[in-house]
Amino acid sequence: MRTIGLVFAVLAPAQIGAQGITDRDLTNASSRTDWITTGRDYSETHYSPLREINASNVNRLGLAWTFDMETKRGLEATPIVVDGTMYVTGSWSIVYAVDAVTGKRLWRYDPEVSRAWGQRACCDVVNRGVAVYGDLVYVATIDGRLIALKNGIPQWSVQTTDKNQSYTITGAPRIVKGKVIIGNGGAEFGVRGYVSAYDAKTGKLVWRFYTVPGDPSKPFESPAMEKAAKTWTGEWWKYGGGGTVWDSLAYDPELDLLYAGTGNGSPWNWKVRSPGGGDNLYLSSIVALKPDTGELVWHYQTTPGDSWDYTAVQQMILTTLSIEGKARKVIMQAPKNGFFYVLDRATGELLSAKPYVTINWAKEVDMKTGRPVENPEARELDPKKMFIQQPGPLGGHNWQPMSYHPGTRLVYIPAQETGYPYLGNENFKYLTGGAWNLGMLPLPATEPAELTPGMLLAWDPVKQAAKWKVSYPTYWNGGVLSTAGNLVFQGTAAGSFAAYNAETGEKVWSMPVNTGIMAAPATYMANGKQYISVLAGWGGAFGLIFGNPSGHNGTPGRLLTFALDGKEKLPPAPGAPALPKPITQTADQKTIEAGSVLYATWCVYCHGFAAASGGSIADLRFSSESTFASYPKIVLDGSYVSVGMPSFKQWLSNDDVAAIRAFVISQRNKIH
Ligand code: CA
C-alpha cells in the first residue's frame, strides 16, 4: 500500500481540482481561505479575513519552511495558493509549484528566456507572479510571451510583443471572464504601451487597447486613439510614446469594468517627446475599459504631459467609502507622483487627491479641473540647473503592493521620500536596439548613492491623512499584507520581516531574513493551519542602482513560509567578500572622467551608482584582475551573455571600454 501511495504521489503532482478556478471563484475570492489571484481578489485589496495568527499570538510566529529560488536577483512575486499548492515566480520568469504545507517542489517550469534579453529589462529580470484559471497556470515572460501551463507543461504560448522592440513583461496576468489580461513594460527604451486580452483556453488575441496614439497618418485603432492624438505634438510615434501597462489591473464584476494603470512617457522628457506641448493622453492615467472589447469607458490622467517617469501603474484598490454621507464605489491609487487619489470608479470623477509624501513638483490637485497645479521649475528641465524634484523617478510609492483593511478602513502604503534632479538633454538622439531613451542627462556616476527614508504609512482614504506611520532608514521596502488578525505584515529593505498592529502601528513581531524583501506576503489556510509566505530576494530597479541596504550582498533568494510555532532555521547569510587589492591605474584623469560619463550612460542601470552594485549582479569593483583584462571580450564580444551581460558593440568602441574600465578601477581603488 505504501508503494502505491508513493506512485500516486509521483503521478499526480499538484493537480488543480478537476473544475479548477472558475469565474465564480474569482468573483468570491475575498471570502476564501486561500489566495487565488495576485491581489487576493478582483478589488486587489491584499487583505485576508484569516485570524488564526493575530495580534495576541503573533509572537509565536516562526519559520515553517524555506524554498530555494535558485537566484541572487530580484524577487517580486506574490505567491498564489490553490488547493494546497503554491505557485510562485522567480528571476527570468521561472515558475515553481510548491506544496503549501511542506515546501516541497512539485514542478518547475523554465521558459528559457535568452539571457541577452536581460539588457532590455529596465528594472531587473523580475516577475510579479502567475494567474490561475480552470486547471491552467499562466505566466508572462520577460521577453514578452504569455504561456499557459498544465502541471508545468505548456499548453499554449503566444508572443504578445514585437521582439524587434524592447518590450518586457514583469507584471502578473489577471483573468476576467475567460480572458487573460496582460500588459508590458519598456517605456525607458522607446515603446508604445498597450494592454491585451487573450482567450484563456486557446491563447487567441481577443482585443488590444493601445494607451497612446501611433502614427496619425495611419488609421487610428480606436476612437480613443483619435481623441488622444489631439493631445500630442511633434513626431512622438517615432519614440514609441510610452504609457506601458506594466503592473496593476483591477476588475469590478458589477460594473463590468476593467481598470488598467498606464506608465510614463517615452522618452521621459516631454519637450523632446511632444515639443509643441499637450497632455499626451493616456500617459500616467487610470483607464476604465469594457473587458469584452477593450473599449475605453473613462480615463483619469494623474500627470498630464508627464516628464518625470510618474507612472500611474501603481496598484489600484476598489472599495466603498462613505464620502460626505454618501456611499461611493471608489478606486484608490497612490501613484509615483505623490498624490493619493480617490475616484468614483463608475465615472472616473475625482473625489479627492492629497499628497501622501513630500511633493514639490505641484502645489495641489485643483478639484475643479482635476489637474495638478504645477511648480513651473519642474517643467523647465534645464540641463544646467539642478532642481531636486520630489518625488523622483522611483516615486512616492512604486509597484510594491499596498493593502486595504476593511475593518480599520486604512490603506497601508509602502511609501518613500524620493528626489531627483531631472536635467533635460537638449541634444537627445533616439537609439534603437535596447538603449535607454530618456531625453535626460545622466547624473554623475561617482557620487555616492543617497538613501532617503522609507515608511509604512497607514492612510485614511476618507480624511486623506495619515493615521500612523513606521519610519525606515531607507526606501524600497516590501509590499504589504493586512489581515483580520489586526495585523499588517511587511518585509524591509534592511533585511527583516515584521508584523504591526493594524490599528496602532505598534511593532508586534519581527525576524531578520538575511536579505532585503521587496515582494508582498500572502496568507492561506492549508491542512487547517494558517501560513504566511513571502519572497525574500533583493534587486529590482532600486537594488541594481543603489546597492543593498541590508548589507547582505549575494544572499540567495528564498521563499519563506511562517506559521505559529514554526521551528525551521534560516540558512546563514554569506560572509562579506575580501577587500579587493588595488589595481595600478594606467589611464589619465581625463580618460577616467570620460569613463565616468560613459558608465553613467550605459552601465549604471544594472551595475549601480559609483559601480557599487547590490550584489544581485556582480559588484564590478570586486572583479578579478583577469576579468578587468577581459573587458573588451565581455563588453564588446558578449562573452558573458549567458549570465545576462550582452554585447554593447553597437554603441561602444574599444576606447570607450578602456575608459569605462579606467573608471571602474578608480572606484575599486577607493575601497580601503
Ligand atoms: Ca518608467
pLDDT tier at 11 (50, 70, 90 boundaries)? very low
What mean pLDDT comes out for the span 343-369? 98
pLDDT at residue 8 is higher than 50 = no
Q: How far is the CA of 309 from the centre of ligand 1 (A)?
A: 5
Total domains in the chain come to 1
| Alpha carbons 607 and 458: distance in angstroms, whole number | 34
Residue 3 clears pLDDT 50, i.e. is over it: no
Q: Smallest Cα–Cα separation from 84: which of 546, 577, 501, 531?
A: 531
How many other CB atoms are there within 10 angstroms of residue 112's CB atom?
11
How long, in residues, is the chain?
Answer: 672
Confidence (pLDDT) at 490 = 98
pLDDT-derived band at 549, boundaries 50, 70, 90:
confident
Q: Is residue 29 part of a domain?
A: no
Can you spell out the DSSP letters for 75-142?
--PPPEEETTEEEEE-GGG-EEEEETTT--EEEEE-----GGGGGG-TT-S-----EEEBTEEEEE-T
Could you tell me the distance, in angstroms and rounded to a whole number, from the CA of residue 310 to the centre of ligand 1?
A: 7
User: Closest by alpha carbon to 491, among 505, 506, 472?
Assistant: 472
> Is residue 511's pLDDT more than 90?
yes
Beta-strand (E) ranges in 151-295? 153-159, 174-176, 179-182, 194-199, 205-210, 241-242, 249-252, 257-261, 265-266, 285-289
pLDDT at 502: 98
Instruction: Give dist(CA 438, CA 430) in Å, integer.
Output: 9
Cα(284) to centroid(ligand 1), Å: 10
User: Is 647 inside any structural domain?
Assistant: yes
Q: How far is the CA of 629 from the centre of ligand 1 (A)?
A: 35
pLDDT of residue 85: 97
Q: What is the 64 CA–ligand 1 centroid distance (Å)?
A: 37
- High-pLDDT (> 90) share of the chain, %: 86
Locate cell 531627483: which residue? 420
> Looking at the predicted structure, is the pLDDT value of residue 203 above 90?
yes
| In-domain check, residue 397 | no
Residue 619 resides in a domain:
yes
Average pLDDT over residues 81-104: 97
State in Å: Cα 388 to ligand 1 middle: 18
More confident residue, 4 or 434: 434
Share of the chain above pLDDT 70, in %: 96
CATH number, domain with residue 622: 1.10.760.10
Cα 246 to averaged position of ligand 1 atoms, centre (Å): 9
The reply to whether 34 belongs to the active site is no
**Over the stretch 14-39, which tens digit does the pLDDT of each residue have?**
456 657 999 999 999 999 999 999 99
Q: What is the mean pLDDT of residues 377-387?
A: 93
Quote the mean pLDDT of the chain: 94
Does residue 620 fall inside a structural domain?
Answer: yes
Any domain includes 624:
yes
Q: What pLDDT, on a 0 to 100 scale, did the predictor assign at position 5?
A: 36
Residue 350 to residues 75, 311, 361, 362, Cα–Cα distance (Å) = 34, 18, 20, 17
Cell of 125: 529580470
Distance from C-alpha of 522 to C-alpha of 80, rounded to nearest angstrom:
7
In a domain, 415, yes or no: no
What is the dihedral sign for C-alpha 631, 637, 640, 646?
positive
pLDDT in tens, 218-248: 999 999 999 999 999 999 999 999 999 999 9
| Lowest-pLDDT choice from 64-78, 531-545, 548-562, 603-617 | 603-617
pLDDT for res 4:
38
Whether 2 shows a pLDDT value over 70: the answer reads no
CA distance to 43, 428, 429, 493, 608, per residue, from 593 (Å): 51, 21, 22, 32, 17
Measured in degrees and rounded to the nearest 5, phi and psi for residue 515 equal -165, 165
Q: To which H or E segment does residue 626 belong?
A: helix 625-629
| pLDDT per residue as tens digits for the range 49-86 | 999 999 999 999 999 999 999 999 999 999 999 999 99
Grid coordinates given for 106: 512539485
Task: Classify residue 613: in a domain, yes or no.
Answer: yes
The pLDDT, as a whole number, for residue 10 is 39
- Ligand 1 centroid, distance to 264 Cα (angstroms): 5
- Cα end-to-end span (Å), the chain: 65
Write the pLDDT tens digit of every residue in 244-269: 999 999 999 999 999 999 999 999 99
Domain interval for residue 609: 589-670
Q: Identify the band that residue 479 occupies on the pLDDT scale cut at 50, 70 and 90.
A: very high
Q: Residues 389-441: pLDDT tens digits?
A: 999 999 999 999 999 999 999 999 999 999 999 999 989 999 888 889 999 99
Region 157-181: mean pLDDT is 98
Which residue is catalytic, options 309, 460, 588, 637? Answer: 309
